[in-house]
Structure 1
C-alpha cells in the first residue's frame, strides 16, 4: 500500500513537520483498489475539526514561540454580552486598541482567539498574541469588560507542549468538545457557543507532497535536526493509519571570539 507524505516547513526550515498516511486510492498488495465510501456526518465533523486544529497549530509553529503570551479576557457579570454578535464587537474594539499600541512600538501584531460562551451563561475570550516586552500590560489596559489572565505559553502546563498540539486543541474548542474525566470517560460539553479566528497577516505555505513505496515502522530525524514529537492514529474516514512527527534544527554552536592582545 502506497504512503502519502506531506512536508511542512516553518520559520525558514527551522521546524519541519512530516505527515504520513496510507493512500486510500490503493489497496493492499495483490488486492483491488479500495472503493470510496461516503463519509458520515460525524466523520466529516471530525475531519473538519482536525483540519482546524492543524491549521491553528501550523500558525502557532510559524508565527509564535513558547515565550509569547497566552491569556484570557473574562467578563464581569454586569458586562456579559447578550449574544455572540455583541461579543465579537467587544473583541474587535479591544484588538484595535492593542494593534495601535503595537504600532506605537513599531511592532506587528499576530493574534489567535476563541470567544466562548459556557453552558451556564459565562463568557470569556482566550487569546494568543506575540510578546513584545509589555504585552500583558497592553492586553490588560485594553480590556474594559472584566478581568484578565496572561502568562507565557511555556508557563501554562495545561496548554503547552513543544509542537503546540495542546494549545491548538485548546484554542479551537467548540460546543462538541468533551473533556476526559479521571476515570477515562468523556464529560459533558462545557461550551454552548464559540467563535474561533486569527489575524489575517499569518499566511501559510503549501506543503511538499511525495508518494513513498512503503510505510516505515520507525522515523528518523533529518541530519542536523532532532524530533520533538510523534503522533500516530487512525483516520476517522479512511480507517487507515496516519503519523505526524515534528523536528527542530539543532541550534548552531556559538563561536568563540579570540581577543588579540595589544603589545
Structure 2
C-alpha cells in the first residue's frame, strides 16, 4: 500500500520535519488490511488538538530560537477580569505596548499566547516572544494587572525540548487537557477555559507531498543533518500507522584563513 509523506522545511532548510502516514497494511506482505473505523467524537477532538499543537510547533520552528522568551502575565486578585472578553482586551492593550517597544528598537515582534482561567477562578496569560536583549524589561513594563515571569525557553525544563514539542503542547492546552499522574492515569482538568492565538506575521509554507513504496523500519538523517526527535504511533481517528521525525543541519565549520 502507498505511504504518504509530507516534508516541511523551516529556516531555509536548516530544520526539516518528515511526516509519514501508512495507508493500508502495517508493514508487510501477508498481513490483512485493517478496516477504517469511524472516529468517535473524543478521537476527533484529540486529532484536532494534535493538529493545533502541530501548527504551533511549526511556527515556533520557523520563527523562534531556544534562547527566546517564555513567560507568564498573572493577575492580582483585585484585577481579575470578569470574563474571557475582558482578558482579551487586557492582552491586546499590553501586547500593543510590547510591539511599539520592539519597533522603536528596530525589531519585529513574534508572539504566541494562551489566556487561561483555572478551575479555582485564577487567570493568567502564558506567552512566548522573540528575545531582543531587554525583552524581560519590556514585558514587565507592559503589564500592570499583576506579576510578570520571564525565562529563556532553554532554561525552563517543563517546556523545553529541541523541536518545541513540549512548548507547543503547553501553549495550546485547554479545558480538555489532563496532566498525567505518576501512576499513568489522567488527572483532573485544571483549566476552566482557554484562548490560544499567535501574531499574524508568521506565515508557513505548504509541505512537499509525495508517496513511498514501502514503510522503512528505521529513519536515517540526510547527509549533513542529525536527528532531533522521532515519534511513532497510531492515528486515533484513522487507526493507521503514523511517524514523525525532525532533523537539523549540522552547524557549518568556520574555516580559518591561515598563512603558511
TM range (shorter): over 0.9
Is residue 179 of structure 1 aligned with residue 179 of structure 2?
A: yes
Give 1:51's aligned residue. 51
Give 1:126's aligned residue. 126
Give 1:226's aligned residue. 226
Q: How does 1:78-89 map to 2 (within 5 A)?
A: 78-89=78-89
The Cα RMSD (Å) is: 1.9
Q: Which runs of 5+ in 1 are unaligned?
A: none
- Tell me the CA shift for residue 246 of structure 1: 0.4
Quote the Cα distance in structure 2 between the aligned partners of 1:253 and 1:203.
31
Quote the Cα distance in structure 2 between the aligned partners of 1:169 and 1:198.
14
Quote the Cα distance in structure 1 between the aligned partners of 2:30 and 2:186.
41
- Tell me the CA shift for residue 255 of structure 1: 1.2
Give 2:195's aligned residue. 195
Equivalent pairs, count:
260
Give 1:3's aligned residue. 3
Q: How does 1:88-107 map to 2 (within 5 A)?
A: 88-107=88-107
Q: Which runs of 5+ in 2 are unaligned?
A: none
Residue deviations 1:211-260, cap 9 Å, x none?
A: 10110000000010000100111100111111100000011101103369
- Contact map agreement 2:27 2:215 (CA 8 A) in 1: no
- Tell me the CA shift for residue 26 of structure 1: 11
- Tell me the CA shift for residue 181 of structure 1: 1.0
SS at match of 1:100: helix
SS at match of 2:238: coil
Quote the Cα distance in structure 1 between the aligned partners of 2:92 and 2:259.
54
Quote the Cα distance in structure 2 between the aligned partners of 1:169 and 1:24.
29
Deviates more, 1:190-199 or 1:37-46: 37-46
